Structure 1
Amino acid sequence: MAHYGVIADLHGNLEALQAALAFLDRRGVERVLCLGDVVGYNADPNACVSLLRQRGIATIAGNHDRIAVGALGLERCSSIAAHALRRTRRALDAASRAWLRDLPAHQAVEQRLLLTHGSVDDVQRYLWTYDDLRDNHRLLEREHPGTTICFFGHTHRAALYRSVGGQVVELAALGEVMLPAAPNAVYFINPGALDAARKVVGERWAELALFDSARGVLTFCRLRYDHAASERKALRGGYRLGPLARGSRWLSALPRRALAGTARRLRAVWRDR
């Protein structure tokens, strides 16, 4: 049993990572867990790898990490992600590349906690829908029996779900939450993303979580970091597409955003029936 800090999707953002680790040090966490996507989007991939290595932080591979070392291709990436990953591939030094290549796909902690980036069977699959979560609950039962808490990343959205008996319920991912144990139940937890570069609107926060495994208490946190500094470095370093390409990408995402919003509203109506 321990007090953990859980981070994900830092994407080469040194400013966000430094802010998060300083916060976790102040909170006295005993161990930091990283859910992958150490690189991509931002200009400090080597510095982020070095800091995680120096701190001995338990880290698993995200899809960007696999793509950056050539273990996966760019076929399932957006144009913005693909551009940044091509730049990341050129920037990585040999030590960083070797460390990223050796990252595991999953890691068990205390036997009942599992770290994954995307789906248990596909690092590039998002856990967006209740069907995704039900599928992953079945995968956990088959491949990682005894798991009661699954930490995941990839979506860049803080989230908390409870899955039991084929029923999935989304819980509020805000502040401090008790996670009572229940037979055959699995909690799926996304701490949010440290890097805010993918946020289209709103304030630029680094998101992370605290988890006290002895008490079963989860706390969602948001931190300010110097987003302007990280963005300037990304622009200067060639990690960003031009404004025309960015605008095209944003417009192409509108139908997907609208559908996602409609799905969330329908789920809320169904729960309130």
Structure 2
Amino acid sequence: MLVAILSDIHGNIEALEAVWQDMAPLPVDRIVSLGDVVGYGPNPEEAVFSVREHDVLCCMGNHELGIVNATERAWFNSTAQKGLGLTASLLSSASLAYINALPRFVCLAGARFVHGFPPDSVTTYLFSVDDEALESWFARGEALTFVGHTHELGLACWTGTEVERRDLGRENFMLDGRPCIVNAGSVGQPRDGNNNAKYLLWNTQTGRIEVRFVPYDIERTVAKIRERGFPDYYATRLW
């Protein structure tokens, strides 16, 4: 089975549509989203509709949690809180109901998919977790976990004696059975120094993972962010 893994779309419909176009000729069997379909970007309603239209298996991100649970918004800074309020105002009742029902993690083909850190955190960043905590998770016996939230591509593996971490680029690599966590980066707002939309392809039979980089119309997204009154920082950091 070929699984496409997306994360942190963040209401960026131009980036998402570019990913769909890139994916179209590929023999993808299932698509999984690691959360934060909404937030920051100017088209949250369209992004949710598109994810549902493509039958994406989706878990909850911290921005979805902030939308449906007002007490969770205290976790965000003042700029993000403003953005969340505007995002919520652009969502239909059907999209709000969909978001509210999202699970904190999903499992498919023996892998776990969670926004922040396993087993079910939507707010914990992988880079904030020390090696001791990673070793503790790996000791639980789950071989493969996919996370998002950081907007950066990365890999953390257990060698049998220590934790190894590295960044990922435009590459293919093979899983070798060691316990590992793969960070899928971001479709709609990368923070790794490259402004292309990013997503992963995972071949569940061979263990091969491909990191895909997809260009999109950033200027159009930037213009809509400003037109719709989102904080300008959300526009400038797309570059």
Q: Same fold (TM over 0.5)?
A: yes
Q: Where does the alignment leave 5 or more consecutive residues of structure 2 unmatched?
A: none
Report Cα offsets for 1:136-193 as digits up to 9, x if no partner. 5534655xxx521100000000001112446210245130101111xxx311101210
2:31–2:57 contact (8 Å) kept in structure 1 = yes
> Which sits farther off after the overlay, 76-85 or 114-123?
76-85
Specify every segment of 5 or more residues in structure 1 that has no aligned partner in the other structure, as ranges.
251-273
Q: Give the equivalent residue in structure 2 for 1:180.
A: 176
- CA separation of 1:27 and 1:71: change in aligned 2, threshold 3 A: farther
Deviations 1:38-86 (A, max 9, x none): 1000111111111111111100000001101226522222333222111
1:123: how far off?
1.2
Q: For the Cα contact (< 8 Å) 2:32–2:57, is it kept in 1?
A: yes
Query: Counterpart of 1:119?
Result: 117
Cross-structure match for 1:194: 187
Residue 9 of structure 1 contacts residue 35 of structure 1 at CA under 8 Å; is this kept in 2? yes
Aligned pairs (5 A) from 1:144-183: 146-165=141-160, 167-174=162-169, 175-181=171-177
TM-score normalised according to structure 1 size: 0.79
Q: Do residues 229 (structure 1) and 220 (structure 2) align?
A: yes
Work out whether residues 4 and 210 of structure 1, in 8 Å CA contact, stay in contact via their aligned partners in 2. yes
| Helix, strand or coil at the partner of 1:12 | coil
How many residue pairs get aligned? The number is 235
Cα separation, 2, equivalents of 1:26 and 1:71: 41
Per-residue CA distance 1:88-137 (angstroms, 9 max, x = gap)? 11111100000000000001112x20000002243111110461x64255
The CA deviation string for residues 193-244 of structure 1, in whole angstroms up to 9 with x for no partner, is 0112x64x95521011111110110111111011111111111111124x7x
- Check the 8 A contact 1:80/1:246 in 2, yes or no: no
Q: CA RMSD of the aligned region, Å?
A: 2.4
Is the Cα–Cα contact under 8 Å of residues 34 and 57 in structure 1 kept in the other structure? Answer: yes
Asked if residue 52 in structure 1 is aligned to residue 43 in structure 2, the reply is: no
CA distance in 1, matches of 2:145, 2:79: 29
Give me the whole-angstrom Cα distance separating, in 2, the residues matched to 1:125 and 1:172.
18
Secondary structure at the aligned position of 1:74 is classed as helix
Structural mapping, 1:1-273, within 5 Å: 2-70=1-69, 72-110=71-109, 112-120=110-118, 121-129=120-128, 131=130, 134-136=132-134, 138-139=136-137, 142=140, 146-165=141-160, 167-174=162-169, 175-181=171-177, 185-196=178-189, 199=191, 202-241=193-232
Aligned partner letter, 1:157:
E
* SS at 1:128 equivalent: helix
TM-score w.r.t. the length of structure 2 is 0.89
Partners of 1:88 and 1:32 in 2: CA distance: 24
Asked whether the 8 Å contact 1:193–1:206 carries over to 2, the reply is yes
User: In structure 2, what residue type is equivalent to 1:117?
Assistant: H
Change (3 A) 1:30 1:246: closer
- Determine which structure has the larger helix proportion and give its number: 1
